[in-house]
Amino acid sequence: MNKPNVSRRQFALLAGTLATAQFPLPGASALTAQDVVKQVQASLGGDWPATGLDGFKAGDPNTPVRGIATTAMATVEVLKQAVAAGTNLVISYEPTFFGRQDGRPSPAGRGPAGVAPDDPVFRAKQDFIEKNGLVVYRLHDHWQARKENEMLTGLAASLGWTKYRVRPDDSLYDLPSGSAEDVVAQLRKSLNLRGGLRAVGDRKATVRRVMLHPGTLTPAIMWQRYSETDLIVTGEVREWENTYYAADIFTAGEKRGLVTLGRIVSEDPGMRACADWLKTLVPDIPTRWISAGDLYWRAA
Residues in the chain: 300
Domains, the chain: 8-145+267-289 (3.40.1390.30), 150-261 (3.40.1390.30)
For 191-203, what is the mean pLDDT?
94
What is the reported pLDDT for 99? 84
Q: What percent of the chain has pLDDT over 90?
A: 74
DSSP 110: -
Residue 156 near residue 184 (C-beta atoms within 8 A): no
Burial 227-266, CB ≥16 within 10 A → b, else e: eebbbbbbbbbeeeebbebbeebbeeebebbbbbbbbbbb
Q: What is the pTM of this model?
A: 0.89
- The answer on pLDDT for 79 being more than 60 is yes
Range scoring the smallest mean pLDDT among 10-14, 32-36, 283-287: 10-14
Given the DSSP bridges, would you call strands 68-71 and 55-58 parallel, antiparallel or unpaired?
A: unpaired
Q: Would you place residue 118 in the very low, low, confident or very high pLDDT band (cuts 50, 70, 90)?
A: confident
Amino acid, res. 84: A
| Angle, alpha carbons 164-169-172 (nearest 5°) | 40
**For the chain, how far is it from start to end, CA to CA, in angstroms?**
31
Report which of 286, 288, 284, 281 is spatially closest to residue 39, judged by C-alpha positions: 281
Q: Going edge to edge, which strands form the sheet with 198-200?
A: 172-179, 206-216, 231-236, 257-260, 198-200
What is the reported pLDDT for 2? 53
**pLDDT tens column, 264-281:** 999 999 999 999 999 999
